[in-house]
Amino acid sequence: MKISIVSYQKNRNAELQGAEGEYLKRLSRHANVERHAIGKWKDADGVPDRLLRGAYVIGLYIGGKQFTSEKLAGHLQQLMNQGRSHLVLVIGAAEGMPQGVERQVQERWSLSSLTFSHQLVRLLLLEALYRSFDILAGGRYHK
């Protein structure tokens, strides 16, 4: 499975980048995960076409669907069973999700009803994805 994480952000935190790298390394056993930070954008802009080929687009929203770890793992398995081999997970800007992306989103998820920085959301997302794949593989990380 290929997973592209797209975020609309301007700043980066070096400490969080190290933690992201650790989860990317762990996830590499289960999926090909890419990060794409878009710093310059207009509200009408959507996710770049080059990232959308054959992709299923999921937007992260405060009001999106929330999952337990086990249910997220099951949902990922369901998406894979449906033949979804490329997921694009989009983290909106500080001002919210760009309107251009709104038209592309096929599903809405929420990691929390709290608001977090973009890079922290990306780290939480990477951890949740790793946990989900570990659950599916029968690993011990979740226990």
DSSP state of 51: G
The mean per-residue pLDDT over the stretch 127-138 comes to 97
Share of the chain above pLDDT 70, in %: 99
Q: pTM for this structure?
A: 0.94
Report pLDDT digits (tens) over 3-46. 999 998 766 778 888 999 999 999 999 999 999 988 888 889 89
List the beta bridge partners of residue 86: 2
Domains along the sequence of the chain with CATH: 2-136 (3.40.1280.10)
For residue 95, pLDDT beyond 90: no
Which residues touch 62 (CB under 8 Å, ≥6 apart)? 110, 112, 113, 114, 115
Distances (CA, A) of 83 to 76, 87, 103: 11, 11, 22
